[in-house]
């Protein structure tokens, strides 16, 4: 009946629910703070539509992303795998980008042109984003296609290196071809998170080879169903960009400034991971109650991920063991036995839901100024 | 361990939950708007503690009431039924009032001194509130006790006239003794709602005899359990008072200015019921969308009760049949087919969840000014 | 990454949540009971995909329908409105049917071949379902296309007669062309519900002209977003069919055996509406408690719609006024003041959420046998 | 109005909600499994009523405990602190026990006679439970009262050694008097959890001195409010008893067979803690999907506590980092990269929400048999 009913739906939804005094709803939009010197850009840079093997028109990808509060996306259609070819016979490989771009007009959502280079292992699947023309990537030779991508100034990354269809044991492993791509500057990043998977081995490859740590949804169907929205959410790559622009995201990615969010799990290099976690946990109040020498501290988690912290402060806690969890968007009271009254206290925690290397977690410091 | 831990709990609760971005919680505090000329005072004027046959200390009644957002309560201990007498042997009948008064210090909660006069039928149980001294009501004669209450300037009302322990068929029926009490000005009101019960017959008695319409929890155990908080709530009497004082509540009750709230059901005289319902439903916006002649109206229910409305406007609706429900605290969009564009529209609804007489519902008017 | 990941997702979801002891989840699958002599088939017979102006591949429509627990759907692409023609240039008008048919293999979901005949008013848009070949409906003449549909043994219905793009006042009105189509047996049904709209005037047209009462989602985007799943659900047509087959649905539709469900609103002829409501409300227990003459009855609403009932029994209730609501899937206790103990009680209710004509509601009877 | 309305309320609640298809409710009743050779008895052995400084009649304590699914409770009124003495002047110190015993008739809830010995520090407050007569404990001398308790065959424990009213720094510290009590066999246990507090130092004292590890609510007001039911729950002591009897609980306590549950935190000796955690996490299914060498394991947490596990298996996981959380009552899928297909896999986890010594967590093994 209606040719453009989604805007209407949005408005209705806002009207119907925004002021409800009794709401049971979980908030869907993803929240992560900026860090010193950078905008934190929420990106999902690996997605599909009917223009390759996905199951929705590109406008749905834009609408999902707006609901999720993303800042940038890329629709990275397979160049070589077109199961809908009987119905969509002459696809311009830039077509889903163009439709998305139009849909995103008047919204704060950056659409990045990209494509998936789809090969058997090695090198498996890879994405090239920030390209100029996807059609020009229709090149058989696996090295030459990366060279063309780079000629277009693309940022490239290896997709799902732990995918069990190409690695039945799920162990991401570098091949000679990958080593060559890296050596020749043709491969910039690697997915450590793809859809539901996380790979310790991919993280190690990233760290050992100075690759950008990436996480993407690789969505084909619906985000809501694949990620159990609003109870879960899609994986995203946080890119620390100097400004909120496409160019700045490109620069941030190229300089390895990312943290991947995979539900409650945050993966990144300490240089960005520690400031992100520290910015995520706000000290709201800190005081000694009554005549006690026990410090009450209210910590607010302003993100969409639950934090699991292990106390490394040297003080024991009055209500917790060494384990403290802080749910997404909630505030947690902790009581610190400082033995005597102090005016400044450094709370140190190992952030167990954050990973800076396989099996390794950053230790963060929350600086508390007593009121 | 802790001798006064409840204040601490409250503070903790506020800190822990007030800023939660993901809250699932239903709001507990009861909300009903003022009407023109009057403060709407939320009252529960029939409650018990361990000082008669209740199961909590009086301070718990104060705390429950604060959580429920009440403005006034009365702890109306049975004068004649003291099952805890072996343990509390010499009860001053004003004692629970005094403890509650102390607990309510520094809170906006009015404590009204009251007692329950506990007799077989007739006249059954009655409450006298705004009394001076409960001990002086220890009088055997059923008429004389009311006379003493009135000497103390009490407001009196007949409790649970439909109680199946005294009326196995649940049909509230006036006896000669009640007629005498009314005739002699000794009985002012009647409960049409007591705990979970509602009585059409009691409402008819109230209307036929010019009695104040009352609703109370008659709580003995815990409000939370008895009324399935926060999914349900206790019955209350809304008293329309000239100011937010004990005296003004007394005056309002004496002049029959009440509406009873029994979960979603509102019971009262049209004079107060209609303004209350009209104040409960706010028109937030009203406009004709696009090129249509269909008026979109956003109605916000600012109360804790769900409204069930039947359209009597003379216009049909574009998304609803004649039935429109608006959940507590939520906003509802309706689309009115006014046939042509109007600047002022009167929406008329029969409020089916409101009762002005047995089986009878008020018709209210929402005056809509089109933007 | 994954070329067929949705099945996997479903399995994961089932594993993860099916046994949760603490689940907060609302059930999505729609439930309505059979009535005597008929299977109640849940149908959504007006939907779109990328093959006309929809935004998903046909397999998503099948997956949505399975999640909603539907029995039959039709993907009724516009014959004349193909905004994706640049990308899908030579559409076989049966194509979305065929893709859906394949997707539905091994599921209990009937796919019905259909098309939307898309015209200015008159006659506006109409659907022809149970057709043999959609391509043969590419006929300019508005009468001839219906004749061809009928030659193919189609069931036809008028879509969204109250659509404000074609009727700015939203008032469904029969034109001469519609009268001719009806007279010549070319038009069988009419949508009284389309997407979010309901039309009293369309219902009157159905009743006055012996048309089948229809309700459809007319979905273009995502069911979950358009209907706020799981808090709301799409409109469906319940077809009372002799067996659970495509042919029996066709026969049921042709013989006007439908009730439309539009969230909590049920619309139909009394012949089917009354049995449906009566089958929806199950008496679980009925007893006189203690020494009372008040009958306790537990009524279970086994459907996905909330019922709003007005007591017409001649007995008053002990806890309710004349208004009783029973939430979807929940049980409600009512206490009936039968004055004396009876062994059989007929409870009569006007079902306000059910409509048998504009502003008119059926009265149903729940036969209670006291235990 | 009603003199015994709580049973009725319970029944109503059960009827109303038990079969709801759409329930949002969290389950309140606490669940922990038996371990080999023992019944796991859920106990809260430190509670107050109006008979000392609590705020409810003893029957409410029984009702709260039944709602929480407890197996045994003790109402341990202060012997020396009676703030309600003006109203309850001649308290038999066994009185709240007797009232609770009567209330618990016909329920599976064991009532244990107990008292709180209330002193300044040292020795602070202590409980004696399984006593014969509380009145005989009214002895001034702090040693003699313990001797009398022991003469009565009591089990005794030190209450809230970290209480900031007696230890402003919250650091539990053994005094000479405590050492004497322990040496002379007069003190059996120590609270490591009291109300909201947990104490690493108290745990160390328990381990160093072979004391029973105890956790109690020390409730004075309402369990529901103090512990934010159903989002949180009261602390309990799990006692591993040979049979489900009072005597067996006594024997289990005396032999130090306890684990304390403080919301998600479990505290105990490895001998009981490890079997408890292993029994709490059930392997439902384990299989290699498709052609992969990645083992899918479904783990069900059958308890009321959330588990936070750190993978120590030697295998990496396909969807998780080393951190796996399993919510109360829910199932969690993990995918284990075993490199090749195995028939038996030992999954080892450090249970971070379990504590066997300050800052120390048990490592548990889940034995997986592949299907």
Q: Quick: pLDDT tens for D171-219.
A: 999 999 999 999 999 999 999 999 999 999 999 999 999 999 999 999 9
Q: What pLDDT does B24 receive?
A: 53
Q: Do D57 and B226 touch (CB under 8 A)?
A: no
Label residue D1 by pLDDT band (50, 70, 90): very low
Q: Do A319 and D196 touch (CB under 8 A)?
A: yes
Same domain? For D223 and D304 the reply is no
Q: What pLDDT does D24 receive?
A: 54
* Residues of chain A where predicted confidence (pLDDT) is lower than 70: 1-24
Measured distance CA(C78)–CA(C84) in Å, rounded? 12
C329 touches chain D (CB under 8 A): yes
D22 touches chain C (CB under 8 A): yes
ipTM above 0.95, yes or no: no
What is the least distance, in Å, from the CA of D130 to any CA of chain B? 20
Q: What pLDDT does A26 receive?
A: 79
Residue of B nearest to A14 (CA): B331
What is the least distance, in Å, from the CA of C60 to any CA of chain A? 7
Q: Is C155 left (phi over 0), alpha (psi -120 to 50) or beta?
A: beta
Q: Is B234 helix (H, G, I), strand (E, B) or coil?
A: coil
| DSSP designation for D27 | P
Tell me whether residue B271 is in a domain: no
Cα dihedral D218, D222, D223, D224, rounded to 10, equals -160
Q: Which of A170, A198, A291 sits opposite D320 (nearest CB)?
A: A198
Q: Do B221 and D83 touch (CB under 8 A)?
A: no
Model pLDDT for residues C48-76, shown as the tens digit of each residue: 999 999 999 999 999 999 999 999 999 99
A1 touches chain C (CB under 8 A): yes
C166 touches chain B (CB under 8 A): no
Q: In the predicted model, is pLDDT for residue C11 greater than 50? A: no
Which of C263, C292, C321 delimits the end of a domain? C263
Measured distance CA(B159)–CA(B167) in Å, rounded? 12
Model pLDDT for residues B223-271, shown as the tens digit of each residue: 999 999 999 999 999 999 999 999 999 999 999 999 999 999 999 999 9
Same domain? For B150 and B199 the reply is yes
Same domain? For C247 and C210 the reply is yes
Q: C136 vs B331, C370, D370, CA distance in Å?
A: 48, 61, 56
Q: Is D219 left (phi over 0), alpha (psi -120 to 50) or beta?
A: beta
Tell me which residue of C115, C267, C120, C244 sits closest to C191, measured CA to CA.
C267
Q: Which of A17, A21, A331 sits opposite B27 (nearest CB)?
A: A21
Residue range of the domain that includes D213: 24-263
State the CATH number of the domain containing residue A251: 3.20.20.140
Q: Which of A5, A55, A228 sits opposite C220 (nearest CB)?
A: A5
Same domain? For B333 and B220 the reply is no
Same domain? For A124 and A185 the reply is yes
Tell me whether residue B10 is in a domain: no
Strand B265-268 versus strand B354-355 pairing type: parallel
What is the least distance, in Å, from the CA of C12 to any CA of chain A? 10
Measured distance CA(A8)–CA(A230) in Å, rounded? 22
Average pLDDT, chain C: 93
Contact C84, C50 (CB under 8 A): yes
Instruction: Give me the mean pLDDT over the C11-30 stretch.
Output: 50
Same domain? For B301 and B158 the reply is no
Q: What pLDDT does B18 receive?
A: 31
Q: Do D6 and B221 touch (CB under 8 A)?
A: yes
Q: What pLDDT does A24 receive?
A: 54
Q: What pLDDT does D91 receive?
A: 82
Instruction: Give me the mean pLDDT over the B327-335 stretch.
Output: 97
Same domain? For A219 and A335 the reply is no
Same domain? For C258 and C289 the reply is no
D310 touches chain A (CB under 8 A): yes
- What number of other Cβ atoms are within 10 A of residue C90's Cβ? 9
C316 touches chain B (CB under 8 A): yes
Residue of B nearest to C169 (CA): B293
Preferred mutation among A321, A339, A348, A356 to probe D, highest tally of D CBs within 10 A: A321
Tell me whether residue C270 is in a domain: no
Q: In the predicted model, is pLDDT for residue C143 greater than 90? A: yes
Give the neighbours of chain A: at least 3 Cβ pairs within 8 Å: B, C, D
A3 touches chain B (CB under 8 A): no
What is the least distance, in Å, from the CA of C308 to any CA of chain A? 21
Q: In the predicted model, is pLDDT for residue B21 greater than 90? A: no
What is the least distance, in Å, from the CA of C106 to any CA of chain B? 36
D57 touches chain B (CB under 8 A): yes
Q: A135 vs A93, A287, C135, D211, CA distance in Å?
A: 5, 62, 33, 75
Q: In the predicted model, is pLDDT for residue C97 greater than 90? A: yes
Q: What pLDDT does B91 receive?
A: 82
| Contact residues, chain A, for B31 at CB < 8 Å | 21
Q: B307-329: buried (b, 16+ CB within 10 Å) or exposed (e) per residue?
A: bbbbbebebbbbbbbbbbbbebb
Model pLDDT for residues A189-202, shown as the tens digit of each residue: 999 999 999 999 99
Peptide linkage before C123 cis (omega within 30 of 0): yes
Q: What pLDDT does D96 receive?
A: 97
Global pTM? 0.94
Q: Which of C201, C294, C352 sits opposite B170 (nearest CB)?
A: C294
Tell me whether residue A10 is in a domain: no
Q: Do B57 and D55 touch (CB under 8 A)?
A: yes
Residue of B nearest to D160 (CA): B1
Tell me whether residue B269 is in a domain: no
Q: In the predicted model, is pLDDT for residue B316 greater than 90? A: yes
Which of A199, A229, A263 delimits the end of a domain? A263
Label residue C26 by pLDDT band (50, 70, 90): confident
Give the neighbours of chain D: at least 3 Cβ pairs within 8 Å: A, B, C
Residue of A nearest to B286 (CA): A15
Q: What pLDDT does D23 receive?
A: 40
Model pLDDT for residues D294-330, shown as the tens digit of each residue: 999 999 999 999 999 999 999 999 999 999 999 999 9
D16 touches chain C (CB under 8 A): yes
Tell me whether residue C336 is in a domain: yes
Our measurement of the distance from residue D77's CA atom to the centroid of its chain's CA atoms, rounded to an integer in Å, reads 19
| Contact residues, chain C, for B201 at CB < 8 Å | 316
Same domain? For B346 and B292 the reply is yes
B9 touches chain A (CB under 8 A): no
Model pLDDT for residues D60-76, shown as the tens digit of each residue: 999 999 999 999 999 99
Which tops the pLDDT comparison, D19 or B329? B329
Label residue C21 by pLDDT band (50, 70, 90): very low
Q: Do A265 and D197 touch (CB under 8 A)?
A: no
| Contact residues, chain A, for C80 at CB < 8 Å | none
Tell me whether residue A121 is in a domain: yes
Label residue D11 by pLDDT band (50, 70, 90): very low
Q: In the predicted model, is pLDDT for residue B1 greater than 60? A: no
C95 touches chain A (CB under 8 A): yes
Which of B202, B233, B263 delimits the end of a domain? B263
Average pLDDT, chain D: 93
Model pLDDT for residues A268-302, shown as the tens digit of each residue: 999 999 999 999 999 999 999 999 999 999 999 99
Model pLDDT for residues C318-345, shown as the tens digit of each residue: 999 999 999 999 999 999 999 999 999 9
Instruction: Report chain C's terminal Cα–Cα distance, integer Å.
Output: 61
D355 touches chain A (CB under 8 A): yes
What is the least distance, in Å, from the CA of D177 to any CA of chain A? 23
What is the least distance, in Å, from the CA of D181 to any CA of chain B? 21
Q: Is A345 helix (H, G, I), strand (E, B) or coil?
A: strand
Q: In the predicted model, is pLDDT for residue D19 greater than 90? A: no
- The DSSP string of B148-183 is HHHHTT-EEEE--TT-TTT-TT------HHHHHHHH
Same domain? For D196 and D334 the reply is no
Instruction: Report chain B's terminal Cα–Cα distance, integer Å.
Output: 61
Q: Do D328 and C12 touch (CB under 8 A)?
A: no
Give the neighbours of chain B: at least 3 Cβ pairs within 8 Å: A, C, D
Angle, CA B105 vertex, CA B103 and CA B108 arms, to 5°: 110
A358 touches chain D (CB under 8 A): yes
| Contact residues, chain C, for D24 at CB < 8 Å | 24, 26
Label residue C360 by pLDDT band (50, 70, 90): very high
State the CATH number of the domain containing residue A349: 2.60.40
Residue of A nearest to C118 (CA): A1
Q: Do C195 and A1 touch (CB under 8 A)?
A: yes
Tell me which of B62-76, C80-94, D182-196 is least confident.
C80-94
Question: A–D: how many Cβ contacts below 8 A?
Answer: 117
Give the neighbours of chain C: at least 3 Cβ pairs within 8 Å: A, B, D
Same domain? For A120 and A224 the reply is yes
C196 touches chain B (CB under 8 A): yes
Same domain? For A255 and A299 the reply is no
Q: Do D169 and A335 touch (CB under 8 A)?
A: no
Number of separate domains in chain D: 2
Q: What pLDDT does D56 receive?
A: 98
Tell me whether residue C48 is in a domain: yes
């Amino acid at each position: 009946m209606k040719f453009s009913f989604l805007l209407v739906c949005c408005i209705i939804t806002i009207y119907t629910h925004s002021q409800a005094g009794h709401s049971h709803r979980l908030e869907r939009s993803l929240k992560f703070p900026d860090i010193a010197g950078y905008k934190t850009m929420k990106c999902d840079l690996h997605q599909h539509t009917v223009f390759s093997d996905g199951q929705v028109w590109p406008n749905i990808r834009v609408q999902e992303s707006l609901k999720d509060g993303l800042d940038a996306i890329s629709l990275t259609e397979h160049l070589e795998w077109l199961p809908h070819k009987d119905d969509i016979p002459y696809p311009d490989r830039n077509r889903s980008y163009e439709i998305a771009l139009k849909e995103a007009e008047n919204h704060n959502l950056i659409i990045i042109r990209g494509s998936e280079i789809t090969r058997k292992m090695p090198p498996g699947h890879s994405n090239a984003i920030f390209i100029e023309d996807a059609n020009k990537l229709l090149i058989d030779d696996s090295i030459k296609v990366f060279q063309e991508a780079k000629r277009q100034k693309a940022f490239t990354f290896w997709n799902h290196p732990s995918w069990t269809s190409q690695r039945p044991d799920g162990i991401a492993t570098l091949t000679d071809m990958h080593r060559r791509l890296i050596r020749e500057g043709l491969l910039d990043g690697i997915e450590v998170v793809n859809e539901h998977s996380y790979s310790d081995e991919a993280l190690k490859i990233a760290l050992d080879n100075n690759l950008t740590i990436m996480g993407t949804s690789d969505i084909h169907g619906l985000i809501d169903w694949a990620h159990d929205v609003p109870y879960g959410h899609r994986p995203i790559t946080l890119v620390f960009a100097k400004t909120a622009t496409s160019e700045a995201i490109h620069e941030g990615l190229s300089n390895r400034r990312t943290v991947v969010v995979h539900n409650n799990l945050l993966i990144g290099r300490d240089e960005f991971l520690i400031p992100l976690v520290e910015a995520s946990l706000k000290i709201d109040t800190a005081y000694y109650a009554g005549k006690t020498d026990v410090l009450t501290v209210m910590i607010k988690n302003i993100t969409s991920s639950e934090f699991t912290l292990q106390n490394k402060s040297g003080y024991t806690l009055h209500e917790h063991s060494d384990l403290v969890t802080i749910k997404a968007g909630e505030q947690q009271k902790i009581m610190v036995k400082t033995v005597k009254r102090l005016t400044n206290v450094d709370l140190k925690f190992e952030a167990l839901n954050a990973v800076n290397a396989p099996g390794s977690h950053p230790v963060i410091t929350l600086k508390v100024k007593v009121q």
